[in-house]
Structure 1
Amino acid sequence: MKNILITGGAGFIGTNLALKLIEKGYTITVLDNLSKQIHGNNPELTSPLYKSIKDKVKFIKGTVTSRSDWERALQNQNIVVHFAAETGTGQSMYCIEKYTEVNIQGTAIMLDILANSENSVEKIVIASSRSIYGEGKYRHPEQGIVYPSHRKESDMLAGNFELTYNDNQVLELLATDEESKIHPSSVYGITKQNQEQMIMTVCPTIGIAPVGFRYQNVYGPGQSLSNPYTGILSIFSTQIRNNNPIQIFEDGKETRDFVFIDDVVAATILGIEKEEANGHVFNVGTGVATDVLEVANSLIAAYNINVPVTVTGRFRLGDIRHNFADLTKIKDRLGFEPTVYFNEGIKKFSSWVLEQEIQEDKLSKSLEEMKKKGLLK
């Protein structure tokens, strides 16, 4: 079986993928810096994610911004799954140098090594993101398919959150396919676009097969419950279990495509194993849009803790209104079908959460930080 390097392999998606690949007989190396924001202050001792793969993989504690760490990690690898990245739309808008260094420069170092040194790498799978699309795909009643620009602060301050076109015509939301316009609205989205394009452009010139996956909002057992910058299911869960009220941005009707971790792992393995994936990028989601109010109410019901829910009308600059995936390509080319939809997934996720210690609710601190930067209105 192949040797596979997973960067960021101690993270939520990485650990789940590593364990499934080990079951299938692959030899796994993980390169990860065990970020405190994700893993806590003493990750080697306390991080459940790290402990789930400890002694099952060759673990390299290091960073993708270090050339020597890359050179060590890439030795004798056949496949690289590149997950290591700074994540979070809001935080990316003021940690610009950090996001650029890790996401773009880290990927550039890997490609530079592979382009200029002997290696055994045959394929690279890059974790891209639905964030590269910015606002999604819409139908105008007269002009047909359109891709509206980012929402104006003045419109949102007036409580107008839905997308309109230049003529203020209300638009019909459509599923976003891989040929849709790429126009990210955050620094995070820009860095993911850059990562994907570098991989898909450079790899074919050096004899390596590239595969890109544009993941939608991934959730499930094992995700961080203490990181206040990513994952509204985790954020809401921590608030509810602390008996704290939930404050919803905008009007609560903004939607996302929530895809369960098992389906993300299954799709990624198809990309690793199937030659039909080579040279292509794929959406990974459920193809279903779920609004934020439904998420909050579903979690309140699952935990049976009745906390107040307030729709605040506040908003973050850089957030998109809607995006859900068109899965036609991944179904046709790789045979992927999502198996866990939101109603079932939320039950699995909440059951796991109830088995975990209640984490400190750090959301207010993160929001105050964004407010000081002028990004929270």
Structure 2
Amino acid sequence: MQVLVTGGAGFVGSRLIRGLLAEFGDIHIVSVDNYFTGTLANHVDDERVEYLHDSTVNVRKLWADRGGDLDAVFHLGEYSRIPQSFDEPDRVWEYNMYGTKEVVALAQEHGAKLVYAGSSSKFGNGGQDENLNPYAWIKAKNVEYIRNVSDWYGLDYVVTYFYNVYGPGQITDGPYATVIGIFERQYAKGEPLTVVEPGTQTRDFTHVDDIVSGIITCYRHGSGDGYLLGYGKERSLLSVAQMFGAPYVLIPARRGERTQGQADTSKARALGWQPTVDLPDYIARITGEHT
């Protein structure tokens, strides 16, 4: 089994590679990552995994040079931050539009099943938020493109949507850090947790291992669009900060972010997937480790 994972040196991609290795014994995984947020520390030390430092823009040439069949493509290697996308529209376009076009073409050429990580941001505000920022807009257009390629050329695909992924390996510092990652770092340092105003905005926080099991389940049994991977419970940012039992401060709101987020997981659950890690339990373990 020959598999491509884009973004395989990133937070979710590296955990996915571990999950695929555990799920499929006879497998060879090629990771293509530009290391924009991925790191060498996320590499898996296994002879079944091959790491290529390059852009998805070049993925068809990379595969042609190495040769061989391709059975599945897990496309996670895209730009994935909302506020920053206003300042880096060219980067979003290159990584998420141009790069994805090449990944889709590679999958279609080889008859490989494409598993695409769509953005849950487009479901905010009754589906109106897909135009709220450059990141959400391009991600939504990519899903349209994938559906069209399937209609035009018979591409086998499944689209999953991640809801606020957290857990081991998450980014904890810098402009691309996750909310839970930032809270963890601040808690460990004894600093006040920084809650983005107004604090009442809600998110559906999902553990990375549940995301990985959802991706693999959708690859095995899913087809088409609409597989939302979340815990299924919305929590306000303020209530999450309070779970840490630490002081917090409010910081100015950021442009382009939605006010509410909760996954309708019914379609993914119908395949047999079930999230298992609840955020309060995870935070209790984190705070217990620093007691």
TM-score normalized with structure 2 length: 0.89
Indicate the larger mover: 335-344 or 222-231. Answer: 222-231
DSSP 3-state at the match of 2:194: strand
Equivalent in the alignment of 1:8: 7
1:34 matches 2:35: yes
Equivalent in the alignment of 2:79: 86
Equivalent in the alignment of 1:323: 261
CA distance in 2, matches of 1:311, 1:125: 38
Q: 1:198-252, CA deviations, whole angstroms, 9 ceiling, x for partnerless residues? A: 2222134333311000111111111122343231111122223333333322221
Q: Is the 8 A contact 2:218 2:268 kept in 1?
A: no
Equivalent in the alignment of 1:169: none
Q: Is the 8 A contact 1:221 1:348 kept in 2?
A: no
1:64 matches 2:2: no
DSSP 3-state at the match of 2:258: coil
2:283 maps to which of 332, 337, 346: 346
> How far off is 1:348 after superposition?
4.9
Equivalent in the alignment of 1:128: 118
Identify if the C-alpha distance between structure 1 residues 68 and 219 changes in structure 2 by more than 3 Å, giving closer, same or farther.
same
Equivalent in the alignment of 2:94: 101
1:211-226 aligned at under 5 Å gives the runs 211-226=158-173
CA distance in 2, matches of 1:350, 1:80: 37
Q: CA RMSD in A?
A: 2.3
Indicate the larger mover: 343-352 or 208-217. Answer: 343-352
> How far off is 1:325 after superposition?
0.9
Q: Is the 8 A contact 2:232 2:265 kept in 1?
A: yes
CA distance in 2, matches of 1:74, 1:93: 38
For structure 1, the 5+ residue unaligned runs are 136-146, 148-179, 355-377
Q: 1:260-310, CA deviations, whole angstroms, 9 ceiling, x for partnerless residues? A: 111111111111111xx11232111011011111222223x3xxxx4x312
For the pair shown, which has the larger CA radius of gyration, 1 or 2? 1
CA distance in 1, matches of 2:167, 2:90: 30
DSSP 3-state at the match of 2:17: helix
Equivalent in the alignment of 2:225: 280
> How far off is 1:73 after superposition?
6.9
Percent sequence identity over aligned pairs:
27
Q: 1:134-153, CA deviations, whole angstroms, 9 ceiling, x for partnerless residues? A: 32xxxxxxxxxxx3xxxxxx
> How far off is 1:342 after superposition?
1.4
For structure 2, the 5+ residue unaligned runs are none
1:291 maps to which of 212, 224, 236: 236
Q: Is the 8 A contact 2:226 2:267 kept in 1?
A: no
CA distance in 2, matches of 1:232, 1:197: 29
CA distance in 1, matches of 2:151, 2:117: 17
Identify if the C-alpha distance between structure 1 residues 317 and 346 changes in structure 2 by more than 3 Å, giving closer, same or farther.
same
DSSP 3-state at the match of 1:316: coil
Identify if the C-alpha distance between structure 1 residues 230 and 184 changes in structure 2 by more than 3 Å, giving closer, same or farther.
farther
1:207 matches 2:164: no
Equivalent in the alignment of 1:310: 249
Aligned length: 287
Which residue identity lines up with residue 84 of structure 1 in the other structure?
G
Q: Is the 8 A contact 1:200 1:212 kept in 2?
A: no
Equivalent in the alignment of 2:69: 76
CA distance in 1, matches of 2:67, 2:231: 33
1:269 matches 2:270: no
Q: Is the 8 A contact 2:163 2:230 kept in 1?
A: yes
Q: Is the 8 A contact 1:3 1:77 kept in 2?
A: yes
Q: Is the 8 A contact 1:19 1:53 kept in 2?
A: no
DSSP 3-state at the match of 2:56: coil
Identify if the C-alpha distance between structure 1 residues 73 and 110 changes in structure 2 by more than 3 Å, giving closer, same or farther.
farther
TM-score normalized with structure 1 length: 0.70
Equivalent in the alignment of 1:173: none
> How far off is 1:99 after superposition?
0.5
> How far off is 1:191 after superposition?
1.8
